[in-house]
Amino acid sequence: MVAELPGSGPPVAGSLLVATPWLDDPNFRRTVIYLLEHSDAGTLGVVLNRASELTVAETVGEWAPLVCEPPVVFVGGPVAPQAVVALGQVGSPAPSDGWSALPGGLAAVDINRPAAELDGSFDRLRLFAGYAGWGPRQLEAEMAERAWWVFGARIEDIFSSEAEELWRAVLIRQRKPWRVFAEAPDDPSVN
């Protein structure tokens, strides 16, 4: 039996949703999700630690010079996999239009505009195919079932060049008891 953990925090836009070791849904196993929206109407976010092999140059080539390393499209989640969500770190000066502000100096970037119009407006940019979504109160129900923890986000989390290590890195920087889960085996029953 696994000991109950106190709550990690409420889900809010701009925070990280981290899959617990007990979440075995293949869409979300050991994922780190940046929450774009959370309200009574539901929750929307993008998976940060699932890089695809598809390069940005192969898909939306004009944006390739603007994205950070690695220059691939990330798998943002299982909902609407043909849709592209672009996140950027707002530069100085901020662009006048073509983006929507998010917490922590981030922005959702409109990639339907010509990339040249926004060149230099963002310090870093990352593209995601699809997103993760939950209906009203669905995420809270999953959190009550020990599927997710919520932690504060750092700008480096969104643009990490070592995305495959992000789940572990986020847990390592937490206080106990969450820190110990960074070393949890892939199958918690063998611990």
CATH number, residue 87: 3.40.1740.10
Question: Is there a domain that residue 170 lies in?
Answer: yes
Cα separation of 177 and 50, whole Å?
A: 25
Question: Is there a domain that residue 56 lies in?
Answer: yes
User: What per-residue confidence (pLDDT) applies to 190?
Assistant: 64
User: What per-residue confidence (pLDDT) applies to 97?
Assistant: 82
Cα separation of 52 and 146, whole Å?
A: 28
User: What per-residue confidence (pLDDT) applies to 68?
Assistant: 95
The list of the chain residues with pLDDT below 70 reads 1-7, 187-191
Percent of the chain at pLDDT > 70 equals 94
| Unique residue bearing structure tokens 């849709």 | 83
Question: Is there a domain that residue 3 lies in?
Answer: no
User: What per-residue confidence (pLDDT) applies to 184?
Assistant: 77
Question: Is there a domain that residue 10 lies in?
Answer: no
- Count the domains in the chain: 1
Question: Is there a domain that residue 36 lies in?
Answer: yes
Question: Is there a domain that residue 150 lies in?
Answer: yes
DSSP string, 13-65: TTEEEEE-TT---TTTTT-EEEEEEEETTEEEEEESS-EEEEEHHHHSGGGGG
Question: Is there a domain that residue 178 lies in?
Answer: yes
User: What per-residue confidence (pLDDT) applies to 32?
Assistant: 98
User: Which residue stretches of 49-187 are H helix?
Assistant: 56-59, 115-118, 138-144, 155-158, 166-172
Cα separation of 34 and 159, whole Å?
A: 11
User: What per-residue confidence (pLDDT) applies to 183?
Assistant: 87
Domain range holding 67? 15-190
Question: Is there a domain that residue 49 lies in?
Answer: yes
User: What per-residue confidence (pLDDT) applies to 92?
Assistant: 77
User: What per-residue confidence (pLDDT) applies to 4?
Assistant: 46
